[in-house]
Amino acid sequence: MNGLQELSKEAKEHLCNVIIPFWKDLRDNEMGGYYGYMDYKLNLDKKAEKGCILNSRITWFFANAYQILGDESLKDEAAHGFAFLKEHCMDRENGGVYWSLNYDGTPKDTTKHTYNQAFSIYALSSYYDATGDTEALRMAEELFTIIETKCRDKDGYLEAFDREFKPAENDKLSENGVIAERTMNTLLHVLEAYTELYRVSKKEEVKKCLLWILDTVADKIYNPKLKRQEVFFDKDYHTLIDLYSYGHDIETAWLIDRTLEILDEKEYTDKMSVITKTLTKQIYDIAFDGHSLSNECEKGVVDTGRVWWVQAETVVGFVNGYEKSPEKSEYLDAAKAEWEFIKTYVVDKRKGSEWYWLLRQDGTPVEGKPIVEPWKCPYHNGRMCFELIRRNENAS
């Protein structure tokens, strides 16, 4: 059994035995959607707010799990998530998706964030692909139109808006002491969402936006001198902070490569592959310590915390790097070593749990970080499993 086959086999077992059962148990059959919070001690708060991003990611997760495994119960979970998105997360009066809801499905935070609209497109496109439900595709296309008409200016995507799409302060995706008018993170996930929408719809207007985003990454986001993406920007794409987000860079490398595969445009493949290969090599050289990945580096100071999603994206990113450059066997070795770290330390072995949120460099968990909350979901670790399974099947 080669390295990818072994990774795929173990990922499938982990998906079926740990991740899927955990998130099935988070289903709220009374109020709809999925419960929004479980603390570090595994106490489930059934009356916590429900992040719309959490519920869109869970819907995306079950739709893809169904397509890979063919288990009808997974299709039912995806349908449960879709119904919640349609009936509660969508603002029927003004359009778009709220930021969060109360536990009973009533609006809580009515901010309309571009990032959040994108993740609903991602979920709805995958749900359409899994079920053939044309209403989901129609909703995804409506959100695409909203982003393109209400969430951007002539230079690119803006971040946050109120319920009526008037500009609001971007306190959702800003951190490290800055409030950004544009972010790499939002652009990356609009790219990801539009790639999925284009894959299932083949709409020319979506393709045009994807090409524009790739150009923007190359011209405004990627810093060729430092071999990294800048993270936070003002309206004119001036970077606001000296920050190196290791997890986003390894994630970006493989997500852009996925977009290039779907677009199949040689000019862009040639142009962007230089960037994705450089990002992968740079992360391997400066952020990977032989078993896991540090979080980020701000003003030259490395945050050595091991964040759950960063570790998941590291596995996929290095497998992707190896597939693109098979002579780079060290990337496959890195993916295998990272997976061993995840199995040993990141997976929470306590009954009724899933993955820890944050660990120290030595693998000990940081107590107090929740197991479930609006950002802690089966999107990154579930997708890691999906990617390993699919890539092994494609290689067979």
Residue with tokens 């979080």: 295
From 165, 145, 190, select the one nearest 93 (Cα to Cα): 165
Nearest Cα to 145, choosing from 99, 187, 205? 205
Q: Whole-angstrom Cα distance, residue 78 to residue 58?
A: 8
**pLDDT of 56 over the 90 cut:** yes
Q: How much is the pTM? A: 0.98
Structure-block tokens of residue 162: 């109120």
SS (H, E, C) the chain: CCHHHHHHHHHHHHHHHHHHHHHHCCECCCCCCECCCECCCCCECCCCCEEHHHHHHHHHHHHHHHHHHCCHHHHHHHHHHHHHHHHHHECCCCCCECCEECCCCCEEECCEEHHHHHHHHHHHHHHHHHHCCHHHHHHHHHHHHHHHHHCEECCEECCEECCCCCEECCCCCCCCCCCCCEEHHHHHHHHHHHHHHHHHHCCHHHHHHHHHHHHHHHHHHEECCCCEECCEECCCCCECCCEEEHHHHHHHHHHHHHHHHHHCCHHHHHHHHHHHHHHHHHHHHHCECCCCECCEEECCEEECCEEHHHHHHHHHHHHHHHHHCCCCHHHHHHHHHHHHHHHHHHECCCCCCCECCEECCCCCECCCCCCEECCECCHHHHHHHHHHHHHHHHHC
User: Which pLDDT band holds residue 140 (cuts at 50, 70, 90)?
Assistant: very high
Beta bridge partners of 153: 156
Q: How far is it, in rounded angstroms, from Cα 297 to Cα 199?
A: 35
Q: In this structure, what token pair is assigned to residue 46?
A: 């059934």
Residue 175 pLDDT greater than 80, yes or no: no
* pLDDT given at position 288: 98
Confidence category of residue 1, pLDDT binned at 50, 70, 90: low
- Give pLDDT, residue 170: 86
Q: Which tens digit of pLDDT belongs to each residue from 222-267?
A: 999 999 999 999 999 999 999 999 999 999 999 999 999 999 999 9
Whole-angstrom distance, CA of residue 18 vs CA of residue 321: 27
Q: Which domains does the chain have, with CATH numbers?
A: 3-395 (1.50.10.10)
Q: What is the pLDDT of residues 256-297, one digit of tens each?
A: 999 999 999 999 999 999 999 999 999 999 999 999 999 999
The mean pLDDT of the chain is: 97
Confirm if 32 and 14 have CB atoms less than 8 A apart.
no
Across 48-52, average pLDDT = 98
Mean pLDDT value across residues 22-34: 98
Closest CA to 249 of 227, 272, 233, 232: 227
